[in-house]
Structure 1
Amino acid sequence: MLKRFFLSLFFTTRFYTLMGSMAIFFVVSFFFPSLYMVAQLVTAALLFLLLLDLFFLYVAGKQPLLISRNMAGRFSNGEENDIHLKLKNNYRFPVTVIVLEELPVQFQVRDFRKKVQMKPGEEQDISYTLRPVERGEYNFGKTNAFVRSLLGLAQRHVVGAEETIIKVYPSFAALHNYEFFSFNNRLAELGVHKKRVIGHSMEFDHIKEYTRGDDVRTLNWKATARRGTFMVNNYVEEKSQQVYCVIDKGRAMKMPFNGLSLLDYAINASLVFSNIALQKGDKTGLVTLAAQQVDVLPASGKKTQMNLLLERLYAQETRWEESDYERLSVSLRSLFSQRSLLILFTNFESMTGLQRQLPYLRKLAKYHLLLVVFFENTELKKFTKDNVHTVEDIYRQVIAQKFAYEKKLMVRELTRYGILSLLTTPEQLTLNVVNKYLELKSRSLI
């Protein structure tokens, strides 16, 4: 009991300042003996106030402060996640509470400090947000609170919430946003646009009367003869198509943008895209490529597929080796007998890097509909538009423009061999992939 008392007792800066002042007072009283008695009386008064402060903190309140930490059971990577600390003052007098939160080491925050004033019996809520940029386990330590009375000479250490381990998953917060807007037919507000393309897919739905704007190639002459008015066949998008997100985990995907690696952007986009593809009636799967290892999650249209995707994407990490695209083409050729849409998330920083992998991409495109998604270097793009004044800056800008031009050449090279491509910034990756998928659906390419 006594040990617990001393472990929880801390003196404040005010107490040490007063004690230092008293020491100086005693030094002065050595030269002026008449002040010695005054110094003793002031010291006695200070000790009395300290004992009174300790009585208020420890005797008058056996359960002084209740602290609880409320947050989601899992965090969304790259998004702001809310944490709430609830405090309740059980003292019968006002107190000052200083809260020190032990945040996970991944955030590298060592100065979290909140100071609140609380009335007797009052409850307060301290809210803050955290934005993780890595997937994995995050260990929250204890919530420490230091309680002071009005005297403010001592403070009592109170431990609130205990240690908690939170798992950070791919950005399921964005997934929920897309689900909500899709449910309310408001995807256009997020930047997703459905394109109207003249033509139809191969799945027949029903026959209806001709209205202005219908494709005349869909006229049903037999039904027109029976009804005496123009009738057209109505088609709907084909469903149950296999769609795979192929994620390259090689060193090219380790490049960071705004705190997140390209792999994390690809994972977040794959999660949102897979959910939309499932809502459109297609089957979604996942392929990950690292060095010579190819892991496949078979495509499925079941409701449990999203949970399987989330758990599979949660554990993905980049590797320093270069990915083996030859192994990828051979593996997918043997595993996938049905023509599928393959969305390959990768990155090429030079035309040479693309040329090395182009033969294997052509093999994949021969049997499947291949969409290669790679990234613009936004920092280089900004540099190409800056105003330069020195010869050195001109050289650097020319080099940056060369790299930016090479990205466009890569798109042209892929198009030359009938491979679809999407060059996008990391921030717009999810929107552009979803729009591209809807475009491919409307063009009946899948």
Structure 2
Amino acid sequence: MLKAFYQSLFFTTRFYVLLGSTAMLFVVSYFLPPLYIVSELIIALLSFLLVLDIFFLYAAGNQPLEVTRNMASRFSNGDNNDIRIKLINNYRFPVTVILMEELPVQFQIRDFRKKVKLKAGEEQDLHYTLRPVERGEYHFGKTNAFVRSLLGLSQRHVAPLNEEIVKVYPSFLQLRNYEFFSFNGRLQEMGVHKQRVTGHSMEFDHIKEYVRGDDVRMLNWKATARRGTPMVNNYVEERSQQVYCVIDKGRAMKMPFEGLTLLDYAINASLIFSNIALQKGDKTGLVTLAAQQVDVLPSSSKKTQMNLILEKLYAQETQWEESDYERLSVTLRSVFSQRSLLILFTNFESMTALQRQLPYLRRLSKYHLLLVVFFENTELKKVTKDNVHTVEGIYRQVIAQKFAYEKKLMVRELTKYGILSLLTPPEQLTLNVINKYLELKARSLI
């Protein structure tokens, strides 16, 4: 009991300042003896107030302050996640509470400190947000609460909360936002464009009676002759197509952008895109490529597929080796028996890097519809638009323009061999991939 009391009691800065001032007064009283009695009175009063302060803090029992931390069991990577701390003051007088959170090491925040004033019996909620930029397990330490009375000479360390482990998954908050906007028919507000359907290479659905505005080219003459009234064929988009997100985990995807790596952007986009494709009636799957290892999650249109994709994407990490595209083409050729849409998330920083992998990309595009997604270097793009006035600045800008131009040459090189490509900034990856997918659906390429 005495040990617990000793470990929970701390003196405040106010107490040490008053104690130090009194000590200085004792020193001065050596030269001015009348001040000695004043110093003794002050130290006696300070001691009395300190004992009184400690008595007030510990007279309320074992639970003078209730602290509850509420947060989700899993966090969304790259998004702001809410954390709420609930405080209930069981004292019969106002107190000041200082909270110090032991946040996970991934955030590198060592000075988290919140100061809250609570009235007698008051209940108050404290909110703050955290934005993780890495997937994995995050260990939350203790929530340390220090309670001070109105005197403020000492503070009591209330029993902290237990440690918690939170798993950070790919951005499922963005997934929920897309689902909400899709449900309300407001995807255009997020940048997803409706694609106009050209031609009629769609799946036949049913025959219906002609109404004003229907395409007269879709008249079914046999049904019209039988019914004696104009009848037209009705078509819908082709469904149950196999769509795979192929994620390159090589060293090229280690490049950071606004705290997240390119791999994280690809993972977040794959998660949201897979959900959109499932809503469109297609079968979605996942392929990851790291060095010579190729992992395949078979495509499916079941409702449980999203959970499988989420768990699969959770533990993915970039590798420092270059990915083996030859192994990828051989594996996919042997595993996939049906023509599928392959969305390859990768990154090429030079034409030489593309030329090394181009034969294997051409082999993949021979049997599947291949869309190669790679990234603009937005930092270099900023350099190309800067106003420079020095020789060194001009040199840097010319080199940056050369690299930016090479990206456009890569798109042209892929187009020359009939390979679809998408060059996009990392922050617009999800929207651009979804729009490209809707375009391919509208053109009936899949």
Question: How high is the TM-score relative to the length of structure 1?
Answer: 0.98
> For residues 216 and 354 of structure 2, what CA distance do their matches in structure 1 show?
43
1:131 pairs with 2:111: no
The 5-angstrom pairing of residues 290-369 of structure 1 reads: 290-369=290-369
The answer (yes or no) to whether the contact 2:285–2:298 under 8 Å persists in 1 is yes
> For residues 117 and 403 of structure 1, what CA distance do their matches in structure 2 show?
56
The answer (yes or no) to whether the contact 2:141–2:162 under 8 Å persists in 1 is yes
Name the SS for the 1:112 alignment partner: coil
The answer (yes or no) to whether the contact 2:94–2:149 under 8 Å persists in 1 is yes
> For residues 160 and 117 of structure 2, what CA distance do their matches in structure 1 show?
17
Match of 2:234 in 1: 234
Name the SS for the 1:18 alignment partner: helix
> For residues 320 and 72 of structure 1, what CA distance do their matches in structure 2 show?
33
**TM-fit CA distance, 1:289:** 0.2
**TM-fit CA distance, 1:229:** 5.3
Change over 3 Å in CA distance of 1:388–1:212 after alignment to 2: farther
After superposition, what is the alpha-carbon deviation per residue over 1:171-205, rounded to whole angstroms, capped at 9, x for unaligned?
00000111111111111111111111221234101
**TM-fit CA distance, 1:228:** 5.2
Name the SS for the 2:15 alignment partner: helix
Match of 2:198 in 1: 198
The 5-angstrom pairing of residues 46-445 of structure 1 reads: 46-210=46-210, 214-227=214-227, 230-445=230-445
Name the SS for the 2:30 alignment partner: helix
Residue 271 of structure 2 aligns with an amino acid whose one-letter code is L
**TM-fit CA distance, 1:214:** 4.8
Residue 109 of structure 2 aligns with an amino acid whose one-letter code is V
Name the SS for the 2:152 alignment partner: coil
> For residues 49 and 26 of structure 1, what CA distance do their matches in structure 2 show?
19
After superposition, what is the alpha-carbon deviation per residue over 1:234-281, rounded to whole angstroms, capped at 9, x for unaligned?
110111111000000000000000000000000000000000111111
5+ residue gaps, structure 1, are none
**TM-fit CA distance, 1:57:** 0.5
Name the SS for the 2:365 alignment partner: helix
Residue 13 of structure 1 aligns with an amino acid whose one-letter code is T
**TM-fit CA distance, 1:221:** 2.2
What is the root-mean-square deviation of aligned Cα atoms in Å?
1.2
Which deviates more, 193-202 or 254-263?
A: 193-202
Residue 324 of structure 2 aligns with an amino acid whose one-letter code is D
> For residues 413 and 192 of structure 1, what CA distance do their matches in structure 2 show?
27
**TM-fit CA distance, 1:125:** 0.6
Change over 3 Å in CA distance of 1:415–1:211 after alignment to 2: farther
Residue 181 of structure 2 aligns with an amino acid whose one-letter code is F
Change over 3 Å in CA distance of 1:230–1:404 after alignment to 2: farther
Match of 2:20 in 1: 20
The answer (yes or no) to whether the contact 1:142–1:159 under 8 Å persists in 2 is no
> For residues 216 and 387 of structure 1, what CA distance do their matches in structure 2 show?
58
Match of 2:30 in 1: 30
Name the SS for the 1:31 alignment partner: coil
The answer (yes or no) to whether the contact 2:253–2:261 under 8 Å persists in 1 is yes
Residue 18 of structure 2 aligns with an amino acid whose one-letter code is L
Name the SS for the 2:93 alignment partner: coil
> For residues 215 and 301 of structure 1, what CA distance do their matches in structure 2 show?
32
Which deviates more, 202-211 or 292-301?
A: 202-211
Which deviates more, 268-277 or 188-197?
A: 188-197
5+ residue gaps, structure 2, are none
Residue 420 of structure 2 aligns with an amino acid whose one-letter code is L
After superposition, what is the alpha-carbon deviation per residue over 1:377-402, rounded to whole angstroms, capped at 9, x for unaligned?
11111111111111111111111111
> For residues 445 and 278 of structure 2, what CA distance do their matches in structure 1 show?
17
Name the SS for the 2:28 alignment partner: helix
Residue 279 of structure 2 aligns with an amino acid whose one-letter code is Q
Residue 328 of structure 2 aligns with an amino acid whose one-letter code is L
The answer (yes or no) to whether the contact 2:249–2:289 under 8 Å persists in 1 is yes
The answer (yes or no) to whether the contact 1:244–1:287 under 8 Å persists in 2 is yes
Residue 144 of structure 2 aligns with an amino acid whose one-letter code is N
> For residues 212 and 196 of structure 1, what CA distance do their matches in structure 2 show?
20
Aligned residues: 446
Name the SS for the 1:87 alignment partner: strand
**TM-fit CA distance, 1:232:** 2.6
**TM-fit CA distance, 1:284:** 0.5
Residue 185 of structure 2 aligns with an amino acid whose one-letter code is N
> For residues 372 and 270 of structure 1, what CA distance do their matches in structure 2 show?
13
Question: How high is the TM-score relative to the length of structure 2?
Answer: 0.98
The answer (yes or no) to whether the contact 2:83–2:127 under 8 Å persists in 1 is yes
Residue 58 of structure 2 aligns with an amino acid whose one-letter code is Y
> For residues 213 and 357 of structure 1, what CA distance do their matches in structure 2 show?
49
Residue 364 of structure 1 aligns with an amino acid whose one-letter code is L
The answer (yes or no) to whether the contact 1:61–1:91 under 8 Å persists in 2 is no
Name the SS for the 1:272 alignment partner: helix
**TM-fit CA distance, 1:38:** 1.5
> For residues 3 and 244 of structure 1, what CA distance do their matches in structure 2 show?
61
**TM-fit CA distance, 1:210:** 4.7
> For residues 366 and 31 of structure 2, what CA distance do their matches in structure 1 show?
100
**TM-fit CA distance, 1:159:** 2.9
Name the SS for the 1:412 alignment partner: helix
Name the SS for the 2:271 alignment partner: helix
> For residues 209 and 375 of structure 1, what CA distance do their matches in structure 2 show?
49
> For residues 223 and 362 of structure 2, what CA distance do their matches in structure 1 show?
45
The answer (yes or no) to whether the contact 2:60–2:90 under 8 Å persists in 1 is no
**TM-fit CA distance, 1:74:** 0.2
Identity of aligned residues (%): 83
